[in-house]
Amino acid sequence: MRLTDANFDEEVFNSKMPVLVDFWASWCIPSQMMKPVIDNLSKEYEGKVKIGKINVDQNPRTRERYNINGCPTVIIVKDGREVVRRVGAQSDSQLRSLIDQYGE
Amino acid sequence: MEKLKLHNSDLTCWNCPAIDLAGKVDFRACGQSTKELAKISEDSDTYIMAECHRRPELGLFDPMGITFEECPEWQRTAYGYMLKDMRVMILGIDGYLGWTLALWLGKLGCNVSGVDNFSRRDWLKERGAHTVVPISRMTERLSAAKEVLDIDINFRQLDLMNDRERLKEFMDEIKPDAIVHYGECPSAPYSMIDAEHAIGVQKNNVLGTLGVLFSMRDIVPETSLIKLGTMGEYGTPLTGRPLFEGMFPADAVLTWDNREWSLGGELTPRDPVSFYHVSKVQDTYNIVEACKYWWLRSYDVMQGVIFGVYTEQVSADPRLRTRLDIDEWFGTVINRFVAQAVIGLPLTLYGAGEQIRGFIALEDAMQCMTRLIASPPEPGQYAVVNQMSGYYSLRELAETVAKIGKSEFNLPVKIQRLENPRVESERHPFEPIYENLPKRYGFKPQVSLEEEIYRMLKLLTQPKIKTRIEEKRHHIVPKTWWSGEKRQVETIEILPSGSQVETEEEKDEAYGR
């Protein structure tokens, strides 16, 4: 799902389900290449883990508030708390093992 | 009833060149230390806002809120939504592709402008070669475009390398929505003649393009740059790894020492096969950096070997024809084969003739370019497409030209193998990935190989053109050796007709398909 400054807290920190957030930018080639992998995972984990994408240029407040200073950054939030953060391109299997370890 | 979605229906003002984001988006703040960031407080309104040059009445608005489908400035065409009177500037508008695209876009209702310094004409003259399809001077081309197709083209004669101020003035005057960059020297053998030619090609291509990037930064940073690269940037690596579209996908991984890294977004290795191809690789890096530093947006088009003579517009009048070169320097392989078939010169394969390349017909290439022009990249986005519609071994192609020449035109076509003047693999694996154009931009090839070869034979067998091929017969067989040797290559063998095509199984095995 598309996350924005407007819905971020509600969808991520007040979520009952664990949430994986991909912080991306149009100028960041690795995050462009991760898009299809993220989309594929969001279908696969539907109902178990919420998977959202947020553009860091379009949503500066969230970027600053959560101190995102590298792109792409992936975090997992569980029960309103960030439990893990990875900066840099993540492969399909790395994302899956993150979700398995922290998201379920 | 809901309208059928086009490939760019859901793009928003974020992608649109008519939108002014300047000063309203804090690009590249991520990970960078700037004073600006301190300003964002909990209470401040940070939603990014844009203004539209075409619809000032909208005031400040959310650029993600309006899609191309919803915006009245974007109109449905056969190639996706296109901006009304879209301003497209073509660099190298006098060339084989540039002129063809100018007429093609003009007919679609685009506002076409272009520049050229006529160096392609000069290079041919210097080699003593000529285009076998006669072309008019630019002034005559422009008036014929107006008279026959009712297209106005705004042309400026200038050199990308040496007339940068004038280029900037022209950009400022036109304010193009897209710039198509065909303004380079497109010949591997020409770049291998000697030091002067290698240096000339690299200067013209690399430095010319670097200047274009700076000019765009200063004058039209929101304009998309659609830059012609070549599949030859990748070469034919003998590992047989797939030739991805510029970058590794995110699910490609590097494993080493029991650890794993995503290669996603890393540029794939390049394996250029001449100093010309090296110039294109250098361009790729320069464009990546320009997008990274200045948020320019660009498609780098890795075009397969182009062939053909036909579009509806260039065929509408002899004065509108685009050039067709068949000499050893500027003649691409199918174009050269067809010319050879017409004058009874055995088609020339270099070495084994089992080299495999991606190909695309002229008309299909125009379709691809139009679809890319219609889908501007996002700010700062650098993306690559592999622009080809299929791949063949050169021997298969020679066979196809021979077959059509014999059956449809009664030409006694032979095929010969020559010594290979190039340094290249003559038998190699080849697995190109070319999914972006069909999947993301809706490209469907419309022209079959056989159909275009037929059209070419039909045009080139006209007596006047056949004579022009005959006149330059001595420039078809190569004399330019990668090694620097100065002699004509010799024939290894004339192939017996019809016996040389391998079976599908043999091919699969040989090419690692």
How many residue pairs from chains A and B have C-beta atoms closer than 8 A?
A: 112
| B249 in reach of chain A (CB within 8 A) | yes
Question: Is residue B136 located within the same domain as residue B57?
Answer: no
| A61 in reach of chain B (CB within 8 A) | yes
| B22 in reach of chain A (CB within 8 A) | no
CA separation for the pair A8, A10 (Å, rounded) = 6
Report ipTM (2 d.p.).
Answer: 0.93
Q: Are strands B19-20 and B51-52 parallel, antiparallel or unpaired?
A: antiparallel
CA separation for the pair B329, B331 (Å, rounded) = 6
B61 part of a folded domain = yes
* C-alpha pair distances (Å), B377 with each of B7, B25, B339, B440: 13, 16, 39, 12
Judging contacts by C-beta atoms under 8 Å, the chain A residues touching residue B248 are 33
Residue identified by tokens 């990970």 is B31
Tally the domains of chain B. 2
pLDDT of residue B507 exceeding 70, the answer is no
Catalogue all structural domains in chain A, each as residue range(s) with its CATH number.
Answer: 2-103 (3.40.30.10)
Among A12-16, A52-56, B24-28, which stretch is predicted with the lowest mean pLDDT?
B24-28
Average pLDDT over residues B444-453: 98
Q: Is B499 exposed, middle or buried (0-12, 13-18, 19+ CB in 10 A)?
A: exposed
Residue in B31, B37, B264 closest to A71 by CB: B31
Question: Is residue B146 located within the same domain as residue B222?
Answer: yes
Domain span at B122 = 85-511
B3 part of a folded domain = no
Residues 272-331 of B with CB under 8 A from A: 288, 291-292, 295
| B39 in reach of chain A (CB within 8 A) | no
B340 part of a folded domain = yes
Beta-carbon neighbour count of residue B42 at 10 Å?
8
CA B381 to chain CA mean position, Å: 18
Question: Is residue B28 located within the same domain as residue B143?
Answer: no
Among B61-65, B225-229, B330-334, B420-424, which stretch is predicted with the lowest mean pLDDT?
B61-65
Judging contacts by C-beta atoms under 8 Å, the chain B residues touching residue A56 are 29-30
In this prediction, what percent of chain B has a pLDDT beyond 90? 87
CATH number at residue B422: 3.40.50.720
Which of B62, B78, B94 is the endpoint of a domain? B78
Which of B43, B63, B78 is the endpoint of a domain? B78
B4 part of a folded domain = no
B280 is catalytic: yes
Average pLDDT over residues B446-463: 98
Question: Is residue B71 located within the same domain as residue B140?
Answer: no
Tell me, what's the pLDDT at B513? 46
Strand partners, B306: B360
Question: Is residue B113 located within the same domain as residue B18?
Answer: no
In the chain, the amino acid numbered A59 is N
Average pLDDT over residues B325-352: 98
Question: Is residue B91 located within the same domain as residue B72?
Answer: no
Question: Is residue B44 located within the same domain as residue B148?
Answer: no
Catalytic residue among B79, B81, B276, B434: B276
Tell me, what's the pLDDT at B25? 75
Residue in B252, B266, B378 closest to A26 by CB: B378
Cis peptide before A72 (omega within 30 of 0): yes
Question: Is residue B104 located within the same domain as residue B162?
Answer: yes
Residue in A28, A64, A92 closest to B250 by CB: A92
Average pLDDT over residues B107-113: 98
pLDDT of residue B431 exceeding 60, the answer is yes
B1 part of a folded domain = no
B5 part of a folded domain = no
Judging contacts by C-beta atoms under 8 Å, the chain B residues touching residue A39 are none
Residue in B247, B251, B252 closest to A29 by CB: B247
Q: Which long-range contacts (CB under 8 A, 24 or more apart) does A10-17 make?
A: A11/A50, A11/A52, A12/A52, A12/A77, A13/A77, A13/A80, A14/A80, A15/A50, A15/A77, A17/A48, A17/A49, A17/A50
Spatial CA neighbour of B303 closest among B288, B283, B326, B321: B283
B182 is catalytic: no
| B207 in reach of chain A (CB within 8 A) | no
* C-alpha pair distances (Å), B485 with each of B180, B447, B481, B482: 37, 39, 6, 8
Question: Is residue B151 located within the same domain as residue B180?
Answer: yes
In this prediction, what percent of chain B has a pLDDT beyond 70? 92
Measured distance between the N- and C-terminal CA atoms of chain B, rounded to whole angstroms: 45
Question: Is residue B16 located within the same domain as residue B164?
Answer: no
Q: Residues B274-327: pLDDT tens digits?
A: 999 999 999 999 999 999 989 999 999 999 999 999 999 999 999 999 999 999
Tell me, what's the pLDDT at B388? 98
